[in-house]
Amino acid sequence: MSRRLLLTFALLFLSVPQQAAAQAGGVESLRQTSKAFATVARRVAPSVVFIQVEGRQAVRSEALPFGDDLLRRFFGEDFPGRARPGTPGRSRKVSSQGSGFVFASNGGTTYILTNSHVLENAERIRVRFQDGREFDARIRGSDPKSDVAVIEIAARDLPALAWGDSSNLEVGEWVVAMGNPFGLSHTLTVGVVSAKGRTSLGINDYEDFIQTDAAINPGNSGGPLVNLNAEVVGMNTAIFSRSGGYMGVGFAIPSKLARTIAEQLVAQGRVTRGYLGVTVQKLTTDVAAPLGLKEGQGVLVAEVGEGSPAARAGLRPGDVLLSFDDAPLNDGGQYRNRAALASPGSTVTLGILRDGRKQDLRVKVGRLDEQEAPEDNPGTGNLGLTVRAPTPEQIVRLRLKPGQGVVVTAVARSSIAALAGLRPGAAILEVNRRPVASADEFARAVEVAEGQVVLLLSENGRTRHLTLSRR
């Protein structure tokens, strides 16, 4: 046997145990990963709750078989079966389910974090832990603008989850979601962080979502999104779906935002937001290029409120905001979130570009609820929506004229508006061909409308008509 042949046999002989060792090492690595997920499940599950909500919801009146017009012709305005103005609407019992998790306790009170939308129409709230214990809960505070709510129960010695820092998350990092999808208690799913800083999705007023491919389904809302240290890095809130179920894209409110809101709700039952008085818009390529910037490298100041904190600090329309307390700004959503989270009375530093020169402006933060902010107007008949006059920022974003239209701020689930496909964030320009410029005008136009209400909407730069039927 030649020396070359002997060498070949020797190499083949040596490679067999090396390949076996590599395979064994790969299996062991997977086994360790599996054990890591199991450890997270054991640590997280005792703090997660199944939330059951009971309440009442307005229901639509049944449509008359031949329509109002025919009966009105024979019987006049007071024909049998016609709903009269001012008559209280009918309601029905409704129940819903969601998730939540313990994040703090004080004496004999335990605080649970969940989504505001989980608690809609709540008259009774019941929570159940993994070990079967059940408690009646009450709402400590709710902030629909961020979709964060806190409920409390009379209990002590319940394990609270530790907070993690969502700002340290990296795209591709493992995360674990736990909740009660479709009522299936304490279900765990695993995925990765698909993206960070998702804003302008039209889900909440204040958005900074973590995107994940960990399976999130109806019933998961309010459950924790945790890292492999079993620390809360987000609260599962929404999904992107064409089927109503999981399609690989879920969104969680980052822990940095959820924790700030939750602590305010526990302390004072409401949220106090910072106010600078600045309306910003996207920095497009045609504006950025002459300034030596790239698109998305900063945001353009469109308007500065007269007498606002920003105006007093010297900010001007046309300035480009590059940073907020040394953190780069890439879009308007980032600016809005950071301004809102700034503590009233504190001072923040805005990095700006003006006339080709970079400079810093120090701004003393005001309090948003001290401003003359437009209020939601609930006087919209039984359509199931609330509206308000658009803010300066919304006027720019929705391409409206000053004094034009109202913006939908909330749509009740299963309401006439919801069934017709109306969503928060849409601008209503006309009601039955009558222009509206305020919430009061909108309410009056709806009140005098007979039967159908035809809305002219502006969404995503396009206008369309939507018909709502109250018959």
Q: How far apart are CA 413 and CA 79, in angstroms?
A: 31
| C-alpha radius of gyration, the chain, whole number | 27
Query: What is the three-class DSSP state of 210?
Result: strand
Question: Given 221, 308, 415, 458, which residue is catalytic?
Answer: 221
Please pick, among 117, 166, 186, 308, the residue that the annotation labels catalytic. 117
- Residue 84 burial (CB < 10 Å; 0-12/13-18/19+)? exposed
Distances (CA, A) of 431 to 412, 453, 460: 19, 7, 19
Pairing of strands 231-239, 162-163: parallel
221 catalytic per annotation? yes
- In this structure, the number of other CB atoms found within 10 A of the CB of residue 92 comes to 9
Q: 418, 468 in Cβ contact below 8 A?
A: no
CA distance 345 to 364: 6
Instruction: Give the CA diameter of the chain.
Output: 113
Asked if 34 is an active-site residue, the reply is no
CA nearest neighbour of 235 among 151, 163, 138: 163
**From the candidates 143, 147, 208, 319, which is the catalytic residue?**
147
| Beta-bridge mates of residue 366 | 275
With residue 9 as reference, give the H or E element that holds it: helix 3-44
Cβ atoms of 235 and 113 closer than 8 Å: yes
Contact 287, 301 (CB under 8 A): no
Taking the CB of residue 274, how many other CB atoms lie within 10 A of it? 20
375 vs 409: CA distance, rounded Å:
10
Report whether 223 contacts 100 (CB < 8 A): yes
Torsion 412-415-421-426 (CA) sign: negative
Q: Is 117 a catalytic residue?
A: yes
> 62 is written with which tokens?
């049944």
Q: At what angle do helices 332-341 and 255-268 cross, to 10 degrees?
A: 30
Location of structure tokens 């953190």:
327
Residues taking part in catalysis: 117, 147, 221
